[in-house]
Amino acid sequence: MPDIVAFGASSSQNSINRKLAHFAASQVPNANITLLDLNDFEMPIYSTDREKEGIPEKANAFKAALKSADGIIISFAEHNGAYTTAFKNIFDWISRLEKPIWCGKPMFLLATSTGARGAITVLELAHLRLSRDNPNIPVFSLPSFGENFKTDEGIITSELRAEFEKALTLFVAQLPQ
């Protein structure tokens, strides 16, 4: 049974990306799922000056959750074409701990938005950066979340569901058996 850590890279209490990440994790066969909420890891904004004062315990806790997982699922919210501040700050802090940043774990990157582009810009940015440590990261963007996703059913558009399942299969194949 693989241990999966999943989170929406957003601090929104009603994050559609958190919903998508949870859905994706629930589709991993026989998985033990740990859902993280970035609000539980709020820390001072990273700077080298603050780092000299010490790494916050919440950064260590976040990194420990990643280390204990067999795979990581992240669904990115897009703020002005980039990561949310909440995600970027955690990323900055954990990057100061041991390498590789994402512990060499298999990853599945997602993004969604209410618009037709499905936060594709941030997903491309995330994939470009995170694939430096792991070149085989599958990605999936879900456009128009409200039209293509239902909480009790998941992705309801057949073409998008097939695309999602193809990416999920690539992720699952990388998990330890």
% of the chain beyond a pLDDT of 70? 100
Q: Which is nearest to 101 in space by CA: 121, 74, 141, 77?
A: 74
CATH of 3-174, one of 3.20.20.140, 3.40.50.360, 1.10.3720.10, 3.30.420.40: 3.40.50.360
pLDDT of residue 89: 98
Helical axes 85-94 vs 57-68, angle rounded to 10°: 80
Q: Chain-centre distance of CA 28, in angstroms?
A: 15
Q: Which is nearest to 5 in space by CA: 30, 27, 22?
A: 22
pLDDT tier at 80, thresholds 50, 70, 90: confident
Domain boundaries, the chain: 3-174
Tell me how far apart the alpha carbons of residues 20 and 142 are, in angstroms, rounded to a whole number. 9
pTM for the structure as a whole: 0.97
